[in-house]
Copies of this chain bind each other. A is one copy, B any other.
Amino acid sequence: MSAMFHVEDLQSPLVQPDWMNRIFKGDCVAAMNKLPEKSVDVIFADPPYNLQLEGALHRPDQSKVNAVDDDWDQFESFQAYDAFTRAWLLAARRVLKPNGTIWVIGSYHNIFRVGAIMQDLNFWLLNDIVWRKTNPMPNFRGRRFQNAHETMIWASKDQKAKQYTFNYEALKAANDDLQMRSDWLFPICTGNERLKDENGTKVHPTQKPEALLARVLLSSSKPGDVVLDPFFGSGTTGAVAKRLGRNFVGMEREQAYIDAATARIAAVEPLKGTDLKIMTGKRAEPRVAFVSLIEAGLIVPGTVLTDSKRRYKATVRADGTLACEGLSGSIHKLGALLQGLPSCNGWTFWHLEKEKKLVLIDELRKLIRDQMAAAGV
């Protein structure tokens, strides 16, 4: 039935079930259970992450971080979160067509529980996809790595479901004729795309970027398909689905989000025919850290670096810092320190001595970049 859909039919009430391209208010489990079983092609779910935040967090400039402390993200325990997860995944499973697929996005706080429960419920994991953020929030206290990504799980209904939609060729063509990888690079949702109310404050705390949803839908759905989002929020899934000629169904408990999403989707102009192409995320020039040269074996810890006039000498340490007469720091910091300058580009300051000739470490960085480019990274 869905294969017979034409993009132009999307808005026609004659061929469209009355539950399509609508947002249902209320609990998503109850709402999904009212839909006919095996009726949606793709599910995209952005459930609460169960962040378990304790106290307030301040930036180094003393400003307070606007935490996600909404009621919907509060759970008594892991058990409670698991029960919640199991319930909505079961309801989602019922409405999913036999060859449909489901996407769930999360962070390390919740994604492991979600993934395990999906496996327990017999979903068949196809990939985990890493959304690498170009501009993640820093770690302000310096006690962990900067949490710079989120994880999506992509799964079919069960192991035997082999006929799911995957637009392999389109993705490959869009990715410079290289297979689309499991790590995707996108900015977080900011600027004009971010929905704001009349006071200029964000409408929803966790609005996802449209580019992310676009790649999700372009890879795993066809024009005319039905995309269900049980945690509809600000309606990114609906907006992108409409723009790409897909139908949507959403569930959302808060009226404010429903209103914002409704207005947002109404303003979306669907693309037509040949415009339904895949867009790719900008691939930034790969930044190479000095420690990569050590990791790649181009520089061995203990190596002595010097400047072009051999005035200063510094020793490379295993951790990727330089040391010189009690001073130490990054290639940049130590270069600045030794010269008494406010700053220094270590890449164009430090040299390696090879057979009495000086080689700028920036030359080694170019080698790494070439390798990365050759690998299509």
Chain A interfacial positions (CB closer than 8 Å to B): 52, 58, 62, 69, 71, 74-75, 78, 107-109, 111-116, 118-120, 122, 125-130, 132, 134-136, 138-139, 142-149, 151, 153-154, 159, 162, 166-177, 179-183, 185-187, 211, 214-215, 218-219, 244, 271-272, 274-279, 281, 286-287, 289-292, 294-296, 301-302, 315-321, 323, 328-333, 341-344, 371-372, 375, 377
Contact = CB atoms under 8 A, between A and B. Distances in A.
B295 A211 contact: yes
5 contacts: A58-B343, A112-B114, A130-B130, A136-B181, A171-B320
Given A74-B159, A187-B375, 9 more contacts: A78-B120, A111-B115, A112-B115, A132-B183, A142-B169, A148-B183, A170-B320, A218-B318, A244-B318
B372 A134 contact: yes
A330 B177 CA distance: 7
A120 B276 contact: no
A123 to B, nearest CB: 11
A317 B182 contact: no
Contacts of A171: 145, 319-320
A122 B52 CA distance: 12
A328 to B, nearest CB: 6
B175 A134 contact: no
A129 B147 CA distance: 8
A154 B145 CA distance: 10
A173 B321 contact: yes
Contact of A317 (B71, B128, B274, B342): B274
A215 B320 CA distance: 10
Contacts of A52: 159
